Amino acid sequence: MTTLHAGSVLTPEERVARRNLILRDALSLLTLFLFTVVIFALTLLLYRSFENHRVELGQRWKVRGEQALRAGRPKEAIDALRSALAYVPNTETEIELATALADAGRTTEATAYFNTLRESTPGDGMINLQLAQLAARQGNETQAVLDYQAALDGTWQGNGYDRRREIRLELANYLLSRHKDSDARLQLLIAAGNAPDDATIKIEIAGQMERANDQQNALGIYRSLAARRSAPLAAVEGAGRTAFALGEYRIAADYLAHTVANIAFATLPENEKGADREMLDTANHILQLFPSINERPALRAQRILSAKNTAHRRITTCTGSGHAMPPPLPALVARWEQLPSRLTVSQLEQDPDLEQTLLQLVYDTETATAQACGAPTADDASLLRIAHNPIAVEQP
Amino acid sequence: MTPETPITAAGPVMPAAEPPRTRLAATIDRIAPTRDERLFLVLSIFIGVISGLLVVAFRIAIEWIQILSLGSAPHAGQLRLLFVPAIAGLVVAPLVIWFFPAARGSGVNQTKAALYVYDGYISIRTVIGKFLTAALAIGGGHSLGPEDPSLQIGAGVASIIARNLHLSRRRLRMFAPIGAAAGLAAAFNAPISAILFVIEEVIGSWSAAVLGSLVLSAISSVVVMRWFMGTEPMFRIPSITLRDPREFMAYAVLGVIGGLLAPLFSLILGFLRPRLRAMPRWSQYLQPAVAGLMVGAIGYFGFPQVMGAGYDVIDQALHGQFVWQLLLALVFLKMLATTVSFSSGTPGGMFAPTLFIGAMLGGAVGAFEKHFFPHLTGTVGAYSLVGMGVLFAGFLRAPLTSVFMVLEVSGNYSIILPVILANTLAFLLSRSLQPVGIFETFTHQDGLDLPSMEEQREESVLHIEDACQPVSVPVMRGADMLQTVSEIVAEAHVTAFLVRLPDGSLYAMTAAELTSAAATLAPETPIQRALKPDRLPQLFPDMPLDSTLHYFPRWPLLPISNRASRGTLEGILTLDDVLARYRNAD
């Protein structure tokens, strides 16, 4: 290393001294290099040994933390996972710690933690899901929906297909809780379209659709399941329930009858059984009142006359209460007064237009009186149900 | 007395002269004049690597001792928390007093003293002692940090290596800061901050001579550190974005609070340290133990976060994991714990506690502000991060380092504007309240007077323009005849004048020289033939005034040129002008 001075005039002794200096410097640097190697080896040995110890400690605390988390003791989990992270920092433990923080109700800390994690792995589905849940918990709807969407678009370890469906259902559920039914319906339709041929999953999706007031699509799913050889009771019951809600009482009665007749029906909760029976009775009663075009003309005319009498009693009671009549009622009364004073079955059988006029008057009366005089009971209630959608009653 | 005799109130004792070494250095200088310069750079790399390795080992030692003594997950209520720091104090005190007296304290001032007082001498005993005692103390729970000891260990390594290579005294002296930068860079995993800190606090002046070596050693040590510990920055910082410029106000408030707290911390330390050191010698054996007991009590009764360096706690604060009340409590408890630990003479540094207190203060201010002004978008973590820099700037008085330190330890450059704003405010406020910085206070308490950046900031450096006078002497051309020049000079009644030569250079000639030339040369001889071969130096108005002094024995006056217009004279300078300016400088 010693640099010679170019053109220097050195005495022979100085040249020897310079040579010795070069040798000594080279030897010194070699010694220094060897010393560095020795120090490096020693440090490496120390480091490896310590790292192993750290890994053991980290693993021990991680296991403890995970156990506490699973056992629903988030505070204990936080301490343990924090210790684990101090020894072996890794994203998985960080997610668990943030989850524990969220479970312990420390939402702000958990959000901060997950945000940090997302910065390093923005496409991680789990992190985005946790952030979505935290945003939902904090009432930040816009952020929650964004994060749910990021979770759906993110990467997942293991079965991402199932996880994405679960998240979509969770998102739909959240949207329902925020009264965003149409947005929820959209998510449920996508979920239904991507769902595997699994009855449990389809029943869950259909159930959510019912909550989102999408009875039509729910009925479609239930019916497809109910058509199977070993149809699950929930599907048959769901089909009856949704058909009933849609006013399709023929279908409802059919499925509800099968429901009640099913052996597994006994295992259902009492209130559910009661509701099913009540729906079945109502549906049957409606079908008995309904003047179906498929019935004999005489029977149809009889039912129309019976309905006419029921509706007339209802409007008479309603208008005779002494209160001022709401706007639609006087017009209805006028229409009633225009009817012939006496109508017979044979008259109706021969005059299909009269039949239609009478039926329309009955439906209009039940609808108007329900609004003006409160909810109807008995046959009036059944006629009102028919009035909502008469065409649907006997939908096949 | 050995050269690294601890700094005492009575003042340091210079090492005995070493004639053989001086003779050897003189010989080397003659037979290989550029040897030192070349070795300087190569050794910088070796120093960096070895310092990095030692700092890795030091950090491992601290953590291992901590796990063995305090347990793998210390928490309040554990009896060992109460006693372990006290026991560590009992072990460390005799070690420091009997075997390693130079290991006492943080290591920054000791390194600075080595540079300015002991010709860069730090003994191998000091390095070993610092390693052992600081590891025991910090690992045992004392509220101190490993960075300053790492700095001293690095400086010691550099000193030992340089001594063994028989480098010149000047080079030997410069090696201490090079090693210090390496040690600090490895400890912080932050090379730029380490270099800046060494320049700001250890060297005390900007010196281009060592900058290259500082960079080489710091980078080498960081490479080693990262090879072992990974490339991740020291702290995992949550995402930080500054969406609304009005938020600068909130960071400014943090800067002001930090600027008020830093002098308070300085004041407490500056008050307690000399008083404890003045106590009877026997009490010195017990002081670290008592300090340990106090720190342990704080930990045992609910605040184990204050024990040790506290990096993990800083990390938690950066993630907004504490409520502001707890953060505020930790600010004052850490101040107390650090004050007693450090003042008791326990070896350990001030960096980590400063960062800790800053992070907690920032978190507390941030959480408080966010509570009452929820529209603020910065996270509590962002305030913690800025808080770290604030206290660093206000307490350690290293404003440049504080900015880069925050950026380097976090790896997050998006926070730079709030950091600069808050740090500047804290630095200015702290400096106006407490003009003497903490390291300088310690230096004075130790009976030393070492240069510092702080002094330089106060100094007003005079420049040539401050003394420059208009050109009042004749400026002749080189081709002018001797007779003409003589007539003009005689008419002007001046003792010296300028001659501009065809190549643009200038010559200042005295009237005596002219008379002498006129006596020997023909009157029509061009004046340039009467000039001596040397020429005036090129001087400009922005150059330091003192740089002109050594020209006056040769030249009667100095012309000052314009940098923008070659050949244009801005004025002239005489020795009387310079001295008059210095006389009026105060």
How high is the pLDDT of residue B457? 56
Torsion of CA B517, B520, B521, B522, to 10 degrees: 120
Nearest to A5 among B33, B38, B53 (CB): B33
How high is the pLDDT of residue B17? 45
Nearest to B73 among A15, A33, A61 (CB): A61
Cβ of B50 and A17 within 8 Å?
A: no
With beta carbons less than 8 A apart as the criterion, state whether B155 and B179 touch.
yes
Q: What is the pLDDT of residues A271-290, one digit of tens each?
A: 888 898 989 999 888 888 88
Question: Cα–Cα distance between B535 and B537 in angstroms, integer?
Answer: 7
Q: Which amino acid is at B16?
A: A
With beta carbons less than 8 A apart as the criterion, state whether B147 and B185 touch.
no
Residue of A22, A27, A47, A97 to mutate when probing chain B, most B C-beta within 10 A = A47
Cβ of B53 and A21 within 8 Å?
A: no
Contacts of A20 in chain B (CB under 8 A): none
Is 80 exceeded by the pLDDT of residue B458? Answer: no
Question: Cα–Cα distance between A23 and A88 in angstroms, integer?
Answer: 48
In this prediction the ipTM stands at 0.75
Q: How far from the centroid of its chain's Cα atoms is residue A316's Cα?
A: 48
- For residue A324 the two structure tokens come to 């001022």
The pLDDT mean for chain A works out to 85
Looking at per-residue confidence, does A354 or B482 come out higher? B482
How high is the pLDDT of residue B455? 59
B382 touches chain A (CB under 8 A): no
Contacts of A53 in chain B (CB under 8 A): 64, 67
CATH of B247-284+295-450, picked from 1.10.3080.10, 1.10.10.10, 3.40.50.300, 1.10.260.40, is 1.10.3080.10
Looking at per-residue confidence, does A323 or B62 come out higher? B62
Nearest to A18 among B31, B43, B75 (CB): B31
Which element (helix H / strand E) includes B560? strand B558-561
The residues, ordered by sequence, that sit 6+ positions from A353 with a Cβ below 8 Å of its Cβ are none
Is 70 exceeded by the pLDDT of residue B454? Answer: no
Three-class SS state of A289? helix
Q: For residue A241, name the pLDDT band (cuts at 50, 70, 90).
A: very high
With beta carbons less than 8 A apart as the criterion, state whether B551 and B537 touch.
yes
Q: For residue A2, name the pLDDT band (cuts at 50, 70, 90).
A: very low
Q: What is the pLDDT of residues A67-113, one digit of tens each?
A: 999 999 998 999 899 889 888 888 888 888 888 988 888 887 788 77
Q: How far lies B414's CA from each of B6, B73, B321, B422, in Å?
A: 44, 34, 22, 15
**CA distance, residue A116 to nearest chain B CA (Å):** 4
How high is the pLDDT of residue B338? 95
B553 touches chain A (CB under 8 A): no
Question: Cα–Cα distance between B253 and B255 in angstroms, integer?
Answer: 5
Q: Is the Cα dihedral B492, B496, B500, B504 positive or negative? A: negative
Question: Cα–Cα distance between A288 and A41 in angstroms, integer?
Answer: 95
Is 50 exceeded by the pLDDT of residue A1? Answer: no
Q: For residue A390, name the pLDDT band (cuts at 50, 70, 90).
A: confident
How high is the pLDDT of residue A4? 44
- For residue A208 the two structure tokens come to 């959510």
Cβ of A46 and B60 within 8 Å?
A: yes
Query: B residues 418-437 near A, CB within 8 Å?
Result: none
CATH of B19-229, picked from 3.40.50.150, 3.40.50.300, 1.10.3080.10, 1.10.10.10, is 1.10.3080.10
Contacts of B236 in chain A (CB under 8 A): 89, 116
Question: Cα–Cα distance between B73 and A58 in angstroms, integer?
Answer: 10
Q: For residue B370, name the pLDDT band (cuts at 50, 70, 90).
A: confident
Indicate the pairing of strand B558-561 with strand B569-573: antiparallel
Burial class (CB in 10 A: 0-12, 13-18, 19+), A149: middle
Is 90 exceeded by the pLDDT of residue B359? Answer: yes
Q: Tokens 């020209």 identify what position?
A: B551
Question: Cα–Cα distance between B169 and B148 in angstroms, integer?
Answer: 25
How high is the pLDDT of residue B23? 64
**CA distance, residue B586 to nearest chain A CA (Å):** 48
How high is the pLDDT of residue B459? 61
Cβ of A39 and B54 within 8 Å?
A: yes
**CA distance, residue B23 to nearest chain A CA (Å):** 13
pTM (2 d.p.): 0.69
Cβ of A50 and B320 within 8 Å?
A: no
Query: B residues 298-337 near A, CB within 8 Å?
Result: 312, 316, 319-321
Is 70 exceeded by the pLDDT of residue B3? Answer: no
- For residue A72 the two structure tokens come to 């629903």
Q: What is the pLDDT of residues A120-169, one digit of tens each?
A: 788 888 889 988 988 888 888 888 999 999 999 888 887 888 889 899 99
**b/e string for B211-228 if b means 16 or more Cβ within 10 A?**
eebbbbbbbbbbbbbeeb
DSSP string over A98-141: HHHHHHTT-HHHHHHHHHHHHHH-TTBHHHHHHHHHHHHHTT-H
Closest-CA residue of chain B to A37? B50
What percent of chain B stands above pLDDT 90?
Answer: 46
Question: Cα–Cα distance between B442 and B26 in angstroms, integer?
Answer: 37
Q: What is the pLDDT of residues B40-67, one digit of tens each?
A: 888 899 999 999 999 999 999 999 999 9
Q: How far lies A279's CA from each of A377, A388, B17, in Å?
A: 15, 16, 111
Cβ of A25 and B35 within 8 Å?
A: yes
Question: How large is the average pLDDT for residues B312-325?
Answer: 82
Is 70 exceeded by the pLDDT of residue B586? Answer: no
Q: What is the pLDDT of residues B490-523, one digit of tens each?
A: 898 889 999 998 888 899 999 888 999 888 888 8
Phi, psi of B500 (to 5 degrees): -95, 125
CB neighbours of residue B126 within 10 Å: 26
3-state secondary structure B236-298: CCCCCCCCCCCHHHHHHHHHHHHHHHHHHHHHHHHHHHHHHHCCCHHHHHHHHHHHHHHHHHH
Phi, psi of B508 (to 5 degrees): -100, 115
Question: How large is the average pLDDT for residues B286-294?
Answer: 95
Question: Cα–Cα distance between B392 and A355 in angstroms, integer?
Answer: 94
Question: How large is the average pLDDT for residues A6-22?
Answer: 74
B35 touches chain A (CB under 8 A): yes
Q: What is the pLDDT of residues A100-115, one digit of tens each?
A: 988 888 887 788 778 7
Residue of B66, B321, B379, B415 to mutate when probing chain A, most A C-beta within 10 A = B321
- Under 8 Å CB pairs connecting chains A and B tally to 118
What percent of chain B stands above pLDDT 70?
Answer: 90
CATH architecture of B464-583: Roll (3.10)
Three-class SS state of B498? strand
B398 touches chain A (CB under 8 A): no
Please name which of B131, B45, B46, B142 lies closest in space to residue B89, comparing C-alpha atoms: B142
CA angle B173, B178, B182 (to 5 degrees): 150
Contacts of B38 in chain A (CB under 8 A): 1-3
- For residue A318 the two structure tokens come to 């309603």
Cβ of B32 and A53 within 8 Å?
A: no
Q: How far lies B507's CA from each of A305, A306, B472, B536, in Å?
A: 134, 134, 15, 6
Question: Cα–Cα distance between B388 and B411 in angstroms, integer?
Answer: 14
Contacts of A17 in chain B (CB under 8 A): 27, 31
Task: Say whether B464-583 and B247-284+295-450 share the same fold.
Answer: no
Indicate the pairing of strand B496-500 with strand B506-510: antiparallel
The residues, ordered by sequence, that sit 6+ positions from B144 with a Cβ below 8 Å of its Cβ are B134, B137, B138, B309, B338, B341, B342, B346, B347, B348, B349, B350, B352, B353
With beta carbons less than 8 A apart as the criterion, state whether B360 and B265 touch.
no
Closest-CA residue of chain A to B37? A3
Nearest to B60 among A50, A87, A113 (CB): A50
Looking at per-residue confidence, does B10 or B89 come out higher? B89
Domain boundaries, chain B: 19-229, 247-284+295-450, 464-583
**CA distance, residue B411 to nearest chain A CA (Å):** 12
Q: What is the pLDDT of residues B214-268, one digit of tens each?
A: 899 999 999 999 999 887 777 767 666 667 777 888 899 999 999 999 999 999 9
Question: How large is the average pLDDT for residues A239-248?
Answer: 91
Query: B residues 221-280 near A, CB within 8 Å?
Result: 228, 232, 236-239
Cβ of A1 and B57 within 8 Å?
A: no
Nearest to B73 among A79, A108, A118 (CB): A79
Q: What is the pLDDT of residues A17-46, one digit of tens each?
A: 888 888 888 898 999 999 999 999 999 999
Phi, psi of B573 (to 5 degrees): -135, 130
Cβ of A79 and B380 within 8 Å?
A: no
Question: How large is the average pLDDT for residues B367-374?
Answer: 78
The least confident of A37-46, A108-117, A315-324, B475-484 is A315-324
Is 60 exceeded by the pLDDT of residue B550? Answer: yes
With beta carbons less than 8 A apart as the criterion, state whether A62 and A77 touch.
no
**A57-61 CB contacts, 8 Å cutoff, 24+ apart:** A57/A83, A57/A87, A57/B67, A57/B72, A58/A84, A58/A85, A58/A86, A58/A87, A58/A88, A58/A93, A59/A84, A59/A88, A60/A84, A60/B72, A61/A87, A61/B72, A61/B73
How high is the pLDDT of residue B12? 39
Residue of A16, A27, A108 to mutate when probing chain B, most B C-beta within 10 A = A108
Which element (helix H / strand E) includes B509? strand B506-510
Contacts of A50 in chain B (CB under 8 A): 60, 63-64
The residues, ordered by sequence, that sit 6+ positions from B396 with a Cβ below 8 Å of its Cβ are B201, B350, B351, B354, B402, B437, B438, B439
Three-class SS state of B477? strand
Is 70 exceeded by the pLDDT of residue A347? Answer: yes
B67 touches chain A (CB under 8 A): yes
Is 60 exceeded by the pLDDT of residue B479? Answer: yes
Instruction: Please count the helices (runs of H) and the strands (runs of E) in chain B.
Output: 23, 5
Query: B residues 102-161 near A, CB within 8 Å?
Result: 161
Question: Cα–Cα distance between B137 and B353 in angstroms, integer?
Answer: 14
Looking at per-residue confidence, does B55 or B171 come out higher? B55
B76 touches chain A (CB under 8 A): no
Is 80 exceeded by the pLDDT of residue B70? Answer: yes
The pLDDT mean for chain B works out to 86
Q: For residue B446, name the pLDDT band (cuts at 50, 70, 90).
A: confident
Is 50 exceeded by the pLDDT of residue A9? Answer: yes
Closest-CA residue of chain B to A84? B73
Closest-CA residue of chain A to B39? A1
Residue of B23, B30, B53 to mutate when probing chain A, most A C-beta within 10 A = B53
Is 60 exceeded by the pLDDT of residue B6? Answer: no
